[in-house]
């Protein structure tokens, strides 16, 4: 009961007075397609955040590489002199050679490449972590589903049958009241287990849908 009140309070915090209203309808029927989730894994927001970082690192590599290339320019000048001297045209070429290229530019380029490789390695590690998490969550959902199927098809029918038989025996005078109470208690516990499994399945499918499903 305490958990119920806490859940109601949390719901009211997010949706206002509507959180105090009685619940209606069934659980959302989120569709789980394992291969679709795997295919969409690369577009996860945390993985997509690496793309601008990689582009920036690639641009820095280009800048560092450009610094190794010498800048050159040319200039034309015209000089008009006196009658005793002819006019003169000057053509000047200039080349700006990088100083200490081996000791300065090369390590800078290597550092930029190392930065790029580090970001790329981080992205790959993050993607592997998400793939592992997705696999674990899909496995957990499958475990819950199998348990729910067994409860619905085996345990719950057996518990109901036992409760009915013990009650019939008690009414016929061939059974004990304690047996009836035990059978009813077992039926209630099985029903509560069914409800718990249904809740776990709904939580697992919702988590998978919002984390790896279609965000649109």
pLDDT band, residue 70 (cuts 50/70/90): low
Distance CA 159, CA 188 (A): 9
Is 24 a residue whose pLDDT tops 70? yes
Number of domains in the chain: 1
What's the whole-number mean pLDDT along residues 185-189?
96
Following CA atoms 138, 139, 145, 150 in sequence, which dihedral angle do they give, to the nearest 10 degrees? 170
DSSP state of 84: T
For tokens 């209630």, what's the residue? 188
What's the whole-number mean pLDDT along residues 45-66?
84
Residue 46 lies in a domain: yes
Residue 58 lies in a domain: yes
Residue pair 116/54 in contact by the 8 Å Cβ criterion: yes
Q: What is the mean pLDDT of the chain?
A: 81
Report pLDDT digits (tens) over 120-165.
Answer: 999 899 989 988 989 999 999 999 999 999 999 999 999 999 999 9
Residue 84 lies in a domain: no
Q: Which residues contact 117 (CB under 8 A, 6 or more apart)?
A: none
Residue 21 lies in a domain: no
Q: Which residues contact 122 (CB under 8 A, 6 or more apart)?
A: 50
pLDDT band, residue 10 (cuts 50/70/90): confident
Report pLDDT digits (tens) over 79-98.
Answer: 665 566 656 656 665 655 55
> Which residue range(s) make up the domain with 174?
31-66+101-212
Please name the helix (run of DSSP H) or strand (run of DSSP E) that holds residue 138, with its range, or none. Answer: helix 106-150
Q: Report percent pLDDT > 90 for the chain.
A: 31
Is 66 a residue whose pLDDT tops 50? yes
Residue pair 215/198 in contact by the 8 Å Cβ criterion: no
What's the whole-number mean pLDDT along residues 104-119?
81
Residue 95 lies in a domain: no
Which CATH number do you get for residue 154?
1.20.1600.10
Check residue 153 and give its pLDDT: 96
Check residue 83 and give its pLDDT: 61
Is 184 a residue whose pLDDT tops 80? yes
Residue 47 lies in a domain: yes
What's the whole-number mean pLDDT along residues 184-202?
94
Check residue 216 and give its pLDDT: 45
Of the CA atoms within 13 Å of residue 216, those in its CB half-sphere come to 2
Residue 115 lies in a domain: yes
Residue 75 lies in a domain: no
């Amino acid at each position: 009961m305490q958990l119920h009140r806490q859940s109601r309070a949390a719901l009211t915090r997010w949706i206002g007075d509507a959180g105090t209203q009685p619940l209606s309808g069934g659980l959302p029927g989120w569709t789980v397609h394992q291969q679709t989730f795997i295919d969409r894994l690369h577009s996860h927001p945390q993985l997509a955040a690496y793309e601008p970082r990689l582009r920036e690192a690639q641009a820095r590599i280009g800048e560092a590489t450009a610094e190794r290339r010498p800048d050159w320019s040319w200039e034309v000048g015209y000089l008009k002199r006196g009658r005793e001297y002819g006019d003169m045209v000057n053509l000047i070429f200039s080349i700006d050679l990088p100083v200490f290229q081996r000791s300065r530019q090369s390590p800078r380029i290597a550092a930029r490449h190392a930065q790029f490789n580090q970001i790329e390695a981080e992205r790959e590690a993050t993607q592997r972590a998400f793939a592992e998490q997705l696999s674990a969550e899909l496995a957990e959902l499958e475990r819950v589903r199998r348990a729910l199927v067994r409860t619905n098809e085996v345990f719950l029918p057996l518990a109901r049958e036992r409760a009915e038989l013990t009650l019939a025996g008690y009414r016929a005078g061939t059974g004990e009241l304690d047996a009836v109470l035990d059978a009813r208690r077992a039926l209630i516990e099985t029903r509560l287990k069914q409800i718990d499994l249904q809740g776990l399945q709904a939580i697992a499918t919702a988590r998978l849908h919002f984390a790896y499903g279609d965000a649109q």
